[in-house]
Amino acid sequence: MLLAVDIGNTNITLGIFRVSKGKILPKPIKVWRLNTNKTESADKYGRKILDLFDHNNINSADIKAVAIASVVPVLDPIFEDVSFKYLGRKAFFVDEKTSFIKMKYENLNEIGADRIADAVAAYHFYGGPAIVIDFGTATTFDCIDKNGVYLGGVIAPGPLISAEALAKKTSKLPQVEVVKPKRAIGKSTVKGIQSGLYFGYVGLVKEILKRIRSEMDGNPKILATGGLADLIVPEIKEVKKILPDLTLEGIRLVYQNSK
């Protein structure tokens, strides 16, 4: 089995892929999420992962490879240790050097590993042109042309960051949950903030999509992934599919192509 690990700023997503007849099968058979803690030790993460394996009847000895996409550099050596110490495997990292897609980008080492994985998986499964919106801590828009070339994209703060910043930078405004309000006009401070966050964010996504589509050839397929996709996408009719495991699939594909 392959353990794919997507290390984000808010969550660490783990996916198990089964291997059959020497081939890694698509679609993870198990997916788990851990909170990202930048100060946690390799031993704590390792024990958490082994506990997940135990509760799901997975033998750690069956893990033959560990592939990682990380946007949290401080955790890279931690998960290298987890992979070697707890699973007996050398960690494979997705980056601009291991990716097999062509990239038109000024500084290749600046591209997040999760964005590379998203672009690889989107083109592999749906072809191009395509746009992937990843609703995470930051919301990213990644553009792939008809030939599978990564063109770049857009990075915007996610709604959770905006909610946190609003609470921290003001004296009287509270931290609120990001939800879809029933009305745009809020009848309380909390509802007013929720309206601004939600509908403002929907407007942001629509405007960015409009602009990047005008700069791309053809009629790009628009795909979504990330933790807040289910909340936001129903307001964005241009998005055709929500793919919760797209990043894990991309990690799997980059690793598989490296062999």
Choose among 98, 134, 156, 162: nearest CA to 229.
134
Catalytic residue (choose from 6, 54, 76, 114): 114
In angstroms, how far is the first alpha carbon of the chain from the final one?
A: 15
Which of these, 181, 141, 143, 146, lies nearest to 158 by C-alpha position?
141
Which residue blocks in 17-140 are alpha helix, DSSP H? Answer: 42-55, 76-87, 113-126
User: Which residues does 63 contact at the CB level (< 8 Å), separation at least 6?
Assistant: 1, 2, 3, 16, 87, 89
Alpha-carbon distance 152 to 148, whole Å?
12
d(CA 253, CA 230): 24
Q: Among this protein's residues, is 6 annotated catalytic?
A: no
* Alpha helix (H) residue ranges in 10-75: 42-55
Report the 10 Å Cβ neighbour count for 147: 11
Rounded to 10°, the helix 76-87/42-55 angle is 50
Q: List, in order, residues 6 or more apart from 181 with CB less than 8 Å away.
A: 191, 194, 195, 198, 199
Please list the active-site residues: 114
